[in-house]
Amino acid sequence: MGWIRERMEQLEPPSTSVSELAQRVRKAHAWPRGKKLKATSLATYLGKFDEGQSLEWLDQHPEVSRALAEALEMAPEELNEQLAELQANKLAPGAKLRLRDVQTRPLDLRHEPLPPGIRMEVQDPAFWPLWWYAPSGSGRTLVGQWLQARGLAVFIQARTWAEAEQQLPANGHPVFVELDSAEEAPDWEQRWEEWKICVATESLPSAPPENRPEEDEERLFRKPPPNWRLVKNASAPEWIDDFLEWLEERVTVKRFDARAFRQWLSQSTILNRIDNVGTALGLAGLFATYGRKDGTGPLAKTQDLSEMAKLFLRMLIQHRENEVDLPVPKLWERLSYLSHSLLQDGSAPSHEARTLDAWHALVRVRPDRVDLEWLETLAENGLKVDKAHLDKARTQLPADAFRTVKALRSLGLLRERQPGQYAFRPPWVLEALLQHSLLELLGQGPEAWGGVLLRQEHAVTVFKELFERCRRKDFTLVEQLLARPAPTAPAWVAGLEAAFRALGFASLLGVQIPEDLRWNILRHQRALTIPTHDGIPLPRITYAHKSEQEEPLLDRGLWYTALLSLTEALPPRSELSIEDWCATMSEQTRIWLLDMAACRTAQEKGARSTDWWLPLLELGGRLMNRLHLFNDSASRIPELAQPEYLLRRLQSKDLTLSELEGYFTWRELGIVLPDYVRRRGLEWERLARRIWDIWLKERHDKQLPQFLAPVAPHAQLLWTTLPAAVVEVFVEDRHYHSMFRQESMFPFFQREHWNVFLRGWTGSGGISRSKTGYSQLTALQMMPEEHVRQAIRAGYPDAYDHSSRRLLWRRWPEVLCEEVERLLQQGHWETALHQAWAAPAHLVARLLVSAEQGMAQSSAPPPPMVARWLHGQIAERVPGWDKAWVLLERLMPSTAS
């Protein structure tokens, strides 16, 4: 907190914001009449003066200085002394500064690098112009000071763009602009490309406007209007190790151990909560204060995030003990009240910025307990205060909310995100407070936590806690809910449907639900559902589509999963059984019911794991008969029934390739299908080979169907059982020769598959390039050594396949050298020399020795091609070419004239 704000709090009555102070200054007697300076602009300057910046402006406008002194109830001389002190201490280029929250040696801006975690693009004007989206704690001010100290850029801090624009240098020098608000910031302009500028703020730039009407056909041929190049902070795992190395060189706390801190971050799962450098510094300070290298100390004893947050709060108060007059327990109590208020306040998300008045309202506790205790203590010590006087004094107490918000601002927990708007920082502390309050609300009855479920933002946290308790067979919350039914109260209904989901999901994972509890919650849920024209029940409480997409636990598909799981355990055709719920549904509607139970976000589909997805598929398989699905033929197979339907069809004799290709979503089945089959007591490998047999029998399109492609995500499911007969088709049928271009196929090849390939490459009518015009380079990249040797001995690559020969020499130089040496020694000149011509120069000497041995052992002279090869090595002057000269002389002696 700066000097102006401190003075504002000493006024009577206190001034609650710089905007209000600006109004007071403009109403002061010393304010120059006719001065055209809006209150908003003046508030901007006051905020800068408070931080010790732009003080020279006051020197240039002494009349405003006198009005400010009057508004602050200071003598002009006293104000001038304050300004002189601030100007003397103002950060100069090259000055040193200390980081907050963690004790380090002063950071020399001119000679030391910035901490890793700050993007390189914002540190170098060569990457500008750009817009840096930098939430509070990202180091915007630090970067600006660092750039200015090094003479790399002019540093401008401003509330708004209009204010910043007035300070832009005229010489076109690079400019780093830190804006409090992105409102009215300029759209992209060509001048920014020529004028290196970086804008840093908590807001994203506005989208560029379209210059022509939407219906203009020419817009299809126009380039889109340019926009700011946007830079965001990288995720913590990308830079945390470099950051710790940087920090370890500068931290002054002797017991701080960077390696132990890194280990603690991973173990406490808090690494994923680090959003920027400021948060990382705060956690480093927490570990330096309460952590120990040996794993002991207060930090190691914390059981949850809220206990860690309480230690963090204690550390902040220790660092700023002269600025905060509330002890840790009392401030934590006020913060708990604040987080309860946030949970019950539906006006804005908890992380959004609010005005100070809004924060005051959230933490207001009446009466002020601290001051009441003080008065009561005085009364006990003899002060005559009767009840009437005490009640009157109570109404005159200073606002408790003001003290709390003041403390939060002093501690850096409330930071101004834009003019007059304050947000809670860092996010993990707010998360800890909200989790702590949610757990407390769960103990206050269904009305309390049911109300949170209605507010969507924190509903998923309640869902998770309900589910975890049900999974531990703790049904207390559900029993309390059912003991006091209130079907007309939205909070109770939200609680019931959340409990319905939690019980159903726990049942799916094998938790035994008491029968009376199962029946009771099904009865209440049945009475609350909303019927549709086709008989599908709808839950009474649903959530916004965006919330469902982002949080699978809020997806209504989980409600249908719970319905299937809870009803399946009841006897067939009994009251509330699955047959009872589906009594009026057509077969297509029953299929749709299974579809809804399988509905998940795209992100969750990509991360499906067998701990819940496999039980859900097994549930769908068990319900096939009870729902009377596919008795005659299937037009569409819902995802939950596909494994069971496929299993049954694979055991029949009339399964066709078109069924396999058209009915099943192989991408989703691939993860769990083998486990599903094995849990049914069957062997997946045998069934997979049955699929290949069907393709071998029915293939007619001269290409593999998509679900059999080796590049498919589920390829391992089928290609690990690949019959050698399939490779024979690829070799013998020229329509399938393109398969040998697909690198993804060869990792599945076993010895028998390579044998087939090799026969096709080296045999008549095979796949060699000289016969088909097709190169098998992709296969040769992955061919095992054993088969490479066989190919060389068979004379392949042949005389015309130079690309394959070069590839094999690069990949297997030693193998080829050994095989060619053997061929030369045995006198197989033609086969050997096909490969020898492409041998690397450093291996030729070995081949010449083998050629000499072959010539010595052969009774017949070598063919002329040997002399040509020797002549070529001499011409290239390869290492050992003199040996080639000797052998050439032996074959073709020189004749003297």
Q: What share of the chain is helix, strand, coil (3-state, %, to 5)?
A: 60, 5, 35
386-396: average pLDDT: 56
Domain ranges of the chain: 3-89, 118-207+224-232, 328-417+428-438, 443-598, 604-717, 722-811, 834-897
Beta strand ranges found along 214-315 (DSSP E): 230-232
Asked whether residue 563 carries a pLDDT value surpassing 70, the answer given is yes
pLDDT, residue 545, reads 60
DSSP state of 638: -
For the four alpha carbons of 584, 586, 588 and 590, in that order, the dihedral sign comes to positive
Q: What is the mean pLDDT of the chain?
A: 84
305-313: average pLDDT: 92
**140 falls in which pLDDT band (50, 70, 90)?**
very high
140-164: average pLDDT: 90
Containing H/E element for 531? Answer: strand 530-531
153-159: average pLDDT: 90
Write the pLDDT tens digit of every residue in 476-495.
Answer: 999 999 999 999 999 999 99
More confident residue, 80 or 560: 560
Distance CA 771, CA 773 (A): 6
Beta strand ranges found along 392-526 (DSSP E): 414-418, 421-424
Asked whether residue 687 carries a pLDDT value surpassing 50, the answer given is yes
pLDDT, residue 607, reads 44
Phi, psi angles (nearest 5°) of residue 198: -125, 120
Select from 65, 112, 13 the least CA-distant residue to 396: 13
Task: Please report, to the nearest 10 degrees, the dihedral formed by the alpha carbons of residues 633, 636, 639, 641 taken in order.
Answer: -10
Provide the 3-class DSSP secondary structure of residue 741: helix
Provide the 3-class DSSP secondary structure of residue 133: strand
**646 falls in which pLDDT band (50, 70, 90)?**
very high
pTM exceeds 0.85: no
Decide the pairing of beta strands 537-538 and 530-531: antiparallel
Under 8 Å between Cβ of 106 and 97: yes
Asked whether residue 305 carries a pLDDT value surpassing 50, the answer given is yes
pLDDT, residue 599, reads 67
Which amino acid makes up residue 215? E
Q: Please give the full DSSP string across 319-345, using - where no structure is assigned.
A: HTTTT--S-HHHHHHHHHHHHHHHHH-
For residue 50, give Cα distances in angstroms to 21, 53, 69, 374, 830: 12, 7, 13, 33, 91
For the four alpha carbons of 780, 786, 792 and 796, in that order, the dihedral sign comes to negative
Helices vs. strands in the chain: H and E counts, helices first: 48, 11
Write the pLDDT tens digit of every residue in 222-280.
Answer: 444 457 789 999 999 999 999 999 999 988 888 788 889 998 888 767 888 899 999 99
pLDDT, residue 391, reads 59
Distance CA 760, CA 375 (A): 100
355-383: average pLDDT: 64
More confident residue, 890 or 388: 890
Q: What angle do CA 880, 885, 888 make, to 5 degrees?
A: 130
Distance CA 566, CA 500 (A): 9
Both tokens of 720, joined, read 């690990």
Distance CA 549, CA 552 (A): 7
Both tokens of 616, joined, read 């859900």
* Widest CA span in the chain: 143
Asked whether residue 773 carries a pLDDT value surpassing 50, the answer given is no
pLDDT, residue 897, reads 44
Select from 233, 54, 48, 230 the least CA-distant residue to 139: 233
| Edge-first strand listing for the sheet containing 154-158 | 154-158, 175-179, 197-201, 130-133, 230-232
- Is the peptide bond between 129 and the residue preceding it cis, with omega within 30 degrees of 0? yes
Containing H/E element for 584? Answer: none
pLDDT, residue 222, reads 43
Burial 416-435 (b: 16+ CB within 10 A, else e): bbbbbbbbbbbbbbbbbbbb
336: number of Cβ within 10 Å: 15
Q: What angle do CA 193, 198, 201 make, to 5 degrees?
A: 135
Provide the 3-class DSSP secondary structure of residue 260: helix
pLDDT, residue 459, reads 86
Cβ contacts of residue 533 below 8 Å, gap of 6+?
A: none
Distance CA 823, CA 854 (A): 9
Distance CA 630, CA 620 (A): 13
Select from 732, 784, 800, 781 the least CA-distant residue to 761: 732
- Per the rule left: phi > 0, alpha: psi between -120 and 50, beta: everything else, 306 is alpha
More confident residue, 749 or 762: 749
- Per the rule left: phi > 0, alpha: psi between -120 and 50, beta: everything else, 599 is beta
